[in-house]
Structure 1
Amino acid sequence: MSGTSRFVVSSEWLQSQLGSPDLKIVDTSFYLAAQNRNADAEYASGHIPGAVRFDHDKVADHSTGLPHMVPSPDLFAETVGKMGIRETDRIVIYDGPGIFSAPRGWWLFRTMGAQNVFILDGGLDGWKAEGRPLDTAVPQPEAVTFNTNFRVDKVIDFQTMLSIVSDGSRQIADARSSGRFAGTEPEPRAGLRSGHMPGARSLPAGTFSANGKLRSLPELRKAIEDAGIDFGQPVVTSCGSGITAAIITLALESLGHEDNALYDGSWTEWGSREDAPVVGGPPDSKVA
């Protein structure tokens, strides 16, 4: 196996496609407080020409009290339709660093029914470093219809996650840092317990990229196999709040593994609930 993921595109390719009528570019940048970056301010100061801004926190289900939960298909369709995006368009997603929140956008658009969805390798930081064009004008696209085909099987809720942990019916891949997984580092959100779900395997999100670009397919496979994940079995991905879990999803799908889903509430939900079992131990622990 060689080469790179079929889901990533280069900055050279994207620049060559700028202005194509069926090409839609979406800035899905999202940052944690510790990153000390403001996604909206960065978009306003200079974005890829034609890019629209998609805010994970705004286009979300706010009824749960959890951050950036998957929105209803109707809300998603209304929002991206106003952005001029159809489900049949070629859609390129990007974030600032390259492989951080863009995979969540990629996963969400695909989960809602879009098929031609890609991620800009290297992100906006790489685009800027290469001196490629930027724009400060906010696009004013004509509204269109985005026809959803919601893949409910790709989203795991709390009750389903409880069952998975109980019966071991799916493998669990956790994208948080190894310290948070082991319970030796505190959670960044107050009130959450430390540790991990029984049976989970540690696959820190940063493992899958270097310098903002997704690693090669052999490197992705090695990282996943080294964590003890069997490619022949289903996988649920999880993280702190459902954003970086999609990085593992991207790696799995890039390698042809399609029997996967994402636990939307992730540790923000799991770690806050007393009825959710939590264990500690080293991140390579195979039995918890």
Structure 2
Amino acid sequence: MQDDPKTLVSTQWLAAHLDDPDLRVLDASMYLPNAGRDAKAEYDAAHIPGARFFDIDDVSDLRSDLPHMVPPVEKFMSRMRAMGVGDGHQVVVYDGAGIYSAARVWWLFRLMGQDDIAVLDGGFPKWQAEGRPVEDLPPVVRDRHMTVRRQNHLVKDVTQVSAASKLADTVILDARAAERFRGEVDEPRAGLRKGHIPGSKNLPFTELLNEDGTMKDPEALRELFAARGVEAKTPVITSCGSGVTAAVLNLALERTGHRIHALYDGSWAEWGAFPTLPVATGA
């Protein structure tokens, strides 16, 4: 793969840059409740040297009833300062699944106007499989100011997504598993309807990944997007269950050179809860 410090870097790249003074590594692992895994406990037991733990549920808008919504700018800035992440830093974010929740943090940094951030390709599983160093020590953190310029075009709300669904001028890509998209199984979150946003197309985020958890090459990604009607200039809105795996699609779009994409932050946790919003089922 081709390393790009603004989208995706290899374990080899990170190992070569691990001692760079302006590198910051974030462990952004999170799991669904039914996974039976404790992300913070796993971080405390072993993480990439110097990594800080990025708690996606904490760095969010706790005023919202929806899970891990985008935090207010001030909260994001204060949390990053406390983690010692700020202006002039190259950030690499990873997770314990391969490429899963790390993409959400990559997208969140992009939303906050921070471009020098990349996801670790293959994540912690690949790093460990290669026998690379880990530690259980808390990092030494020094405050660092971060200048935030929120990029509002990178996020969409329910009103904007509803309009896109009706106008059919934007491709809405749903990153959930096919059986959830078709409405054949219950949603993991209680009280949500089954199905998908009318007019949206299904592209499970797992289809973007190789068997070893790394991301497919840009040409293979372009073919997957093209099969859903996405070309270079096609506006795209990504969605999923709660705005996490949708970001894997945004990351993949960016890898192909596609620039006109946004993420529906509320995703199905919001759409599926509103009885007045239309729902489609089947393929």
What TM-score, normalized by structure 2, do the two folds share?
0.96
Corresponding position of 1:262? 263
Supply the distance in 2 between the matched residues of 1:266 and 1:5 (Cα, whole angstroms).
30
2:153 alignment partner, SS class: helix
Corresponding position of 1:252? 253
Deviates more, 1:199-208 or 1:111-120: 111-120
1:23-61 deviation digits (Å, cap 9, x = unpaired): 000111111123222110110001000100111101100
What TM-score, normalized by structure 1, do the two folds share?
0.94
Corresponding position of 1:61? 61
Residue 127 (structure 2) pairs with residue 127 (structure 1): yes
Residue 139 (structure 2) pairs with residue 149 (structure 1): no
Corresponding position of 1:231? 232
Corresponding position of 1:222? 223
1:238-284 deviation digits (Å, cap 9, x = unpaired): 000000000110111111111110000000000000121101121xx
1:268-287 → structure 2 map (5 Å cutoff): 268-282=269-283
Return 5+ residue gaps in structure 1 as ranges: 283-288
CA contact (8 A) 1:4 1:217 kept: no
CA contact (8 A) 1:173 1:200 kept: yes
CA contact (8 A) 2:205 2:248 kept: yes
Supply the distance in 2 between the matched residues of 1:277 and 1:16 (Cα, whole angstroms).
50
Supply the distance in 2 between the matched residues of 1:281 and 1:5 (Cα, whole angstroms).
38
Supply the distance in 2 between the matched residues of 1:21 and 1:278 (Cα, whole angstroms).
50
1:215 alignment partner, SS class: coil
CA contact (8 A) 2:87 2:144 kept: no
Corresponding position of 1:24? 24
What is the number of equivalent residue pairs in this alignment?
Answer: 280
1:1-288 → structure 2 map (5 Å cutoff): 3-4=1-2, 6=4, 7-210=7-210, 211-282=212-283
Corresponding position of 1:286? none
Supply the distance in 2 between the matched residues of 1:64 and 1:165 (Cα, whole angstroms).
24
Supply the distance in 2 between the matched residues of 1:277 and 1:178 (Cα, whole angstroms).
19
Task: For residue 170 of structure 1, report the CA deviation from its aligned partner.
Answer: 1.6
Return 5+ residue gaps in structure 2 as ranges: none
1:131 alignment partner, SS class: coil
Deviates more, 1:225-234 or 1:254-263: 225-234
CA contact (8 A) 1:157 1:264 kept: yes
Deviates more, 1:240-249 or 1:95-104: 95-104
Supply the distance in 2 between the matched residues of 1:188 and 1:114 (Cα, whole angstroms).
32
Over aligned residues, Cα RMSD in angstroms? Answer: 1.2
CA contact (8 A) 1:49 1:134 kept: yes
2:172 alignment partner, SS class: strand
Task: For residue 134 of structure 1, report the CA deviation from its aligned partner.
Answer: 0.7
